[in-house]
Amino acid sequence: MFTIVSADFLAENIKKFEIEAPRIAKKRKAGQFVMLRATDNGERIPLTIADSDPEKGTITIIAQGAGKTTRELNRLEAGDTISDIVGPLGTPSHIENFGTAVSIGGGVGTAIAYPTAVALKEAGNYVITINGARTKEMVILENEMKSVSDEAYITTDDGSYGFHGFVTQKLQELIDSGKKIDYVLAIGPIPMMKAVADVTRPYGINTVVSLNPIMVDGTGMCGGCRVTVDNEIKFACVDGPEFDAHKVDFTNLNDRNKIYLKEEQSSETEYKHRCNLDTQS
């Protein structure tokens, strides 16, 4: 059992948890994740480690309520427990002083981009962050991102805050302004990561994405998370989750992630129904 130390909403539906997990806190590096099972009948889901405090023995994860498990998770409060958390998993981000590094986070992907942005800054990079959200209320980690950035930009799809448009438009603007960019990290929904890869490809900018396939064990024993990179099969949980964006088959990843759409929807509908019953009684 893993105890939640604190639990706070960062935006509607996006919650940040600090959880006691001393082994993971001690070992984790930027880019790594945990598999989490909230309850005894629960499924295992992957979540990135956003931060850690080795002395306190805690890790931070940020979850967006997107389906049954994450909605259930987001009802937990400080003092509640989580059945299982295993990690740190995955290959840590490859960090070096690239020169100018752009870290792009889309939606809750910002939480995943954050630890790597910190590591890029610590490695001496000139760090530019582009933090994209649908609308103003959905912007997360603005101050955290600013604190590690030499330049920090917020974009909103509806223009309610910061730059009006997509993260890719901001990136294109930076490239067009003649800024020399040596490295781009993009984390967010698959269409966004694919779009970033398309922007940087003609310029040959080293671009890395953190992939989000379906995972079960997260330790390399099932291949549920396999992705096609440079026409080879890779297991994202062991070989990744970060890969060269210009070599990833995003279409295949997108299609593979739809396999349980019907089951996910029925599970969520049932869960919402139960929650409504709870409120009634």
Partner 1 sequence: MAIPRQEMPAQDPLERIQNFKEVNLGYTPELAIKEAMRCIQCKDPVCIKGCPVNIKIDEFIDLVANGDFTGAARKIKEDNVLPAICGRVCPQEDQCEKECILGKKHKPVAIGHLERFVADYERESGNVAVPHVKPATGRKIAVIGSGPAGLSCANDLAQFGHKVVVFEALHELGGVLMYGVPEFRLPKEIVRTEIEGLKSMGVEFQTDVVVGRSVTIDELMEEEGFDAVFIGVGAGLPWFMGIPGENLVGVLSANEFLTRVNLMKAYDFPESDTPVFDCKGKNVAVFGGGNTAMDAVRTAKRLGAEHAYIVYRRSEAEMPARIEEIHHAKEEGIEFLLLNNPVEFVGNDQQWLTGVKLVKMELGEPDDSGRRRPVAVEGSEYILPIDMAVISIGNGSNPLIGQTTPDIEFSKRDTIVVDINTMATSKENVYAGGDIVTGGATVILAMGAGRTAAKAIHEKLMGESHGFDEW
Binding residues: 62-64, 222, 225, 237
CA distance linking residue 169 with residue 40, whole number of Å: 44
Of residues 97 and 265, the one with the C-beta less far from partner 1: 265
**Binder among 6, 81, 147, 251 for partner 1 (CB under 8 A):** 251
Of residues 92 and 189, the one with the C-beta less far from partner 1: 92
Is position 94 an interface residue for partner 1 (rule: CB under 8 A)? no
In contact, 15 and 9? CB cutoff 8 Å: yes
Of residues 135 and 219, the one with the C-beta less far from partner 1: 219
Other beta carbons within 10 angstroms of residue 146's beta carbon come to 13
Largest CA distance in the chain: 61
Is position 57 an interface residue for partner 1 (rule: CB under 8 A)? no
In contact, 167 and 130? CB cutoff 8 Å: yes
- Size of interface with partner 1, in residues (CB under 8 A): 44
CB of 191 to partner 1, least distance (A): 16
CA distance linking residue 100 with residue 181, whole number of Å: 5
Is position 135 an interface residue for partner 1 (rule: CB under 8 A)? no
Is position 123 an interface residue for partner 1 (rule: CB under 8 A)? no
Annotated binding site for FAD: 62-64
For residue 130, which phi and psi values (nearest 5 degrees)? -125, 120
For residue 123, which phi and psi values (nearest 5 degrees)? -80, 0
Helix (H, G, I), strand (E, B) or coil at 80: coil
Annotated binding site for [2Fe-2S] cluster: 222, 225, 237
14: which 2 tokens? Answer: 């996006």
Piece of 23-31, 73-81, 165-173, 195-203 that binds partner 1 (CB under 8 A) = 23-31
| Residue 96 parent element (H or E) | none
Where on the chain is the footprint of partner 1 (CB under 8 A)? 23-24, 27, 37, 41-44, 68-69, 83-89, 216-217, 219-224, 226-228, 233, 238, 249, 251-252, 255-256, 258-260, 262-264, 266-267, 270
